[in-house]
């Protein structure tokens, strides 16, 4: 295997070592994380013909050999054992299925960050005919070991973690219809990790306290995290994800659209992922406007200020406005970018973006160091959406790339754009299309987006702007850049 460790979106590092018949996973410094299993072992093997050639036919007699490198659809896995934390660190009555789902999600993350067995990540130029599908990278999950319990597979399937080939009820009143269970690479990257990575805050438990209260847990959310508390950090023993709100419709001008959920607050980290090829965490967070006596808001550990945790651990939060100001003056004039002006004028621009009803500004950070700026918006009620056809209720848009010179290089743009699309898919499963709007003369961005599967949709030519509009659909996306 190429990688012997797995860096989780919440900052925890899990090491992976080969053992007889499989791999052992060890959570580094697991004692600091409540109810997080210290270690578990999975059996991973590759199914082959008895003559040694790979097989995809279900009715062919197969044997197995030790796993070395991923195959397209011949690898199989099951959970053999799992160590649990001390009972004093666990909430009474915690659901064992959720712990199994958590360790399986981490195992899948490690497996699918390996190089793809497909020859290329590029999307085919033509769509397959009816009845045909693109090659899908699948991992079979076997009903053996700790997964052989009668209702275990059923619960994991209903959690959305795995899928079944057989989608019928089953004529026999048995659980054998859950024998053809699998997880695909494309489906895995569309799972929201907040469903499976739960109760992972670094909360210090006082003697005699079995479960920390939500209030006392807030002050320790960022402890030990490379870039502060992120979207996968929770102060309770419940998942930090809940389904979208019921749909309610409102009007913006003459456009009828769903009422949008309230965005993240200033400084909040809303996306975090370790990029193995870069060796760093890629995060997105909302900029912070300068406030007076901001550092006085911080309190000593163990006390609750009543204002919630500080989700941005930069030493000087006022630098966000300064960064946008400096980046703006290094780029040509563009209607899609912040306009050049004084620091005070830039402050008005950023406040206007933070006050928008259908968009919000964001910063790209590598290991908590901001390197770029972009804006996320809902296409339907945006002025851009009024010039496009067939815009869906939940289509998302990304406007402009602005930042350091290193950030505007093609490799960095690919990782950032791929992560932005990943966030849009995970944020709402109803989003089918992501639209990018940027300067048309930025050839590196065009090249990077084309390699990710984007296609040209539209090009605007106005007196003060010449912008390119590229689009990608959920069906054309093959996973984030690793």
Question: Each residue of 87-130: pLDDT tens digit?
Answer: 554 444 455 788 888 899 999 999 998 877 764 445 444 444 44
Provide CB contacts within 8 A for 91, sequence distance 6+: 35, 199, 210, 211, 237
190 and 274 co-located in one domain:
no
Task: Please give the residue that has the higher pLDDT: either 165 or 397.
Answer: 397
Cβ-contact 322, 459 below 8 angstroms:
no
Separation of alpha carbons 360 and 442, rounded Å = 23
| 46 located within any domain | yes
Read off the CATH number of the domain in which 345 is found.
Answer: 3.40.630.30
Domain shared by 368 and 255, yes or no: yes
Give pLDDT, residue 134: 59
Q: Which pLDDT value is given to residue 210?
A: 38
Domain that holds residue 111: 5-195
With respect to residue 239, please indicate whether it lies within any of the assigned structural domains.
Answer: no
Domain co-membership, 441 together with 300: yes
What is the Cα–Cα distance from 481 to 415, expressed in whole angstroms? 5
Same-domain check for residues 253 and 155: no
pLDDT at 198: 64
For the cut 50, the answer to whether the pLDDT of residue 58 exceeds it is no
Mean pLDDT of the chain: 75
**Most confident of the ranges 23-32, 230-239, 261-270:** 261-270
Q: What is the spatial distance between Cα 481 and Cα 479, in angstroms, rounded to a whole number? A: 7
Share of the chain above pLDDT 90, in %: 22
Give Cα separations from 4 to 16, 25, 119, 273 (angstroms): 5, 10, 23, 17
| Range of weakest confidence among 6-15, 55-64, 165-174 | 55-64
- pLDDT value of position 368: 78
**Mean pLDDT, residues 182-186:** 91
Please enumerate in sequence order all residues whose Cβ is within 8 A of that of 416, keeping only pairs 6 or more positions apart, or say none.
Answer: 282, 364, 372, 374, 401, 407
Number of H helices, E strands in the chain: 8, 19
Same domain? 279 vs 152: no
| 298 and 179 both lie in a single domain | no
User: Which residues partner with 66 through β-bridges?
Assistant: 45
* Residues 144-156 pLDDT 10s: 888 887 788 888 8
Is 67 contained in some domain? yes
Q: Is the pLDDT of residue 409 over 70?
A: yes
Q: Which pLDDT score, from 0 to 100, does residue 220 have?
A: 32
Q: Are residues 313 and 450 in the same domain?
A: yes
CB 121 within 8 A of CB 478: yes
> Which of 315, 410, 308, 400 lies closest to 363, judged by CA?
400
Domain boundary pick from 195, 230, 264 = 195
Per the model's pLDDT, the better-predicted residue between 150 and 13 turns out to be 13
Q: Which of 178, 195, 212 is the last residue of a domain?
A: 195
- 353 is a domain residue: yes
61, 180: one domain: yes
Phi, psi of 369 (to 5 degrees): -95, 115
pLDDT in tens, 311-333: 343 434 457 888 888 887 776 55
Residue of 186, 198, 191, 193 lying closest to 160 (CA atoms): 191
Which has the closest alpha carbon to 316: 342, 287, 340, 281? 287
Q: What residues are labeled active site?
A: 437
Distance CA 245, CA 279 (A): 36
CA separation for the pair 441, 314 (Å, rounded): 33
Residues 164 and 251 in one domain: no
Please report whether residue 208 resides in a domain: no
71 and 130 belong to one structural domain: yes
Could you give the number of structural domains in the chain?
Answer: 2
Q: What is the pLDDT of residue 190?
A: 92
Of the listed ranges 84-88, 414-418, 436-440, the least confidently predicted one is 84-88
Q: What is the pLDDT of residue 462?
A: 66
């Amino acid at each position: 295997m190429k990688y012997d460790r797995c860096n989780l979106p919440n900052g925890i590092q899990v090491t992976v070592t080969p053992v007889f018949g499989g791999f052992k996973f060890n959570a580094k410094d697991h004692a600091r994380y409540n109810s997080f299993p210290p270690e578990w072992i999975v059996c991973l093997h590759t199914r082959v013909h008895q003559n040694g050639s790979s097989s995809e036919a279900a009715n062919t007699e197969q044997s197995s050999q030790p796993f070395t490198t991923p195959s397209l659809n011949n690898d199989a896995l099951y959970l053999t054992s799992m160590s649990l934390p001390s009972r004093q660190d666990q909430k009474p009555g915690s659901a064992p299925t959720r712990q199994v789902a958590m360790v399986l999600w981490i195992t899948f993350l490690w497996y699918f960050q390996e190089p793809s067995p497909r020859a290329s990540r590029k999307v085919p130029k033509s769509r397959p005919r009816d009845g045909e599908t693109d090659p899908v990278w699948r991992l079979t999950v076997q009903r053996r070991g700790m997964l052989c319990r009668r209702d275990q597979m059923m619960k994991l399937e209903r959690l959305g973690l795995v899928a079944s080939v057989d989608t019928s009820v089953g004529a026999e009143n048995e659980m054998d219809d859950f024998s053809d269970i699998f997880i695909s690479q494309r489906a895995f990257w569309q799972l929201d990790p907040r469903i499976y990575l739960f109760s992972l805050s670094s909360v210090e438990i006082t003697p005699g306290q079995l479960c920390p209260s939500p209030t006392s847990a807030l002050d320790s959310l960022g402890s030990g995290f490379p870039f502060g508390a992120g979207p996968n950090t929770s102060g309770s023993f419940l998942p930090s994800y809940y389904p979208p709100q019921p749909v309610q419709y409102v009007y913006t001008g003459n456009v009828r659209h769903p009422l949008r959920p309230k965005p993240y607050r200033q400084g909040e980290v809303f996306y975090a992922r370790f990029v193995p090829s870069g060796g760093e965490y890629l995060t997105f967070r909302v900029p912070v406007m300068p406030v007076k006596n901001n550092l006085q808001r911080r309190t000593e550990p163990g006390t609750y200020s009543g204002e919630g945790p500080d989700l941005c651990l930069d030493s000087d939060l006022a630098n966000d406005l300064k960064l946008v100001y400096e980046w703006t003056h290094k780029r040509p004039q563009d209607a899609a970018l912040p306009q050049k002006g004084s620091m005070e004028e830039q402050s008005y621009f950023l406040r206007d973006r933070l006050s928008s009803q259908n968009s919000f500004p964001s910063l790209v950070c590598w290991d908590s160091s901001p390197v770029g700026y972009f804006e996320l918006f809902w296409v339907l009620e945006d002025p851009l959406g009024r010039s496009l056809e067939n815009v869906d209720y939940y289509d998302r848009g990304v406007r402009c790339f602005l930042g350091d010179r290193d950030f505007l290089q093609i490799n960095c743009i690919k990782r950032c754009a791929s992560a932005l699309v990943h966030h849009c898919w995970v944020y709402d499963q109803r989003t089918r299309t992501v639209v990018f709007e940027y300067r048309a003369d930025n050839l590196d961005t065009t090249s990077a987006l084309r390699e990710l599967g984007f296609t040209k949709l539209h090009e605007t030519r106005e007196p003060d702007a010449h912008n390119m509009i590229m689009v990608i659909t959920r069906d054309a996306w093959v996973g984030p850049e690793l």
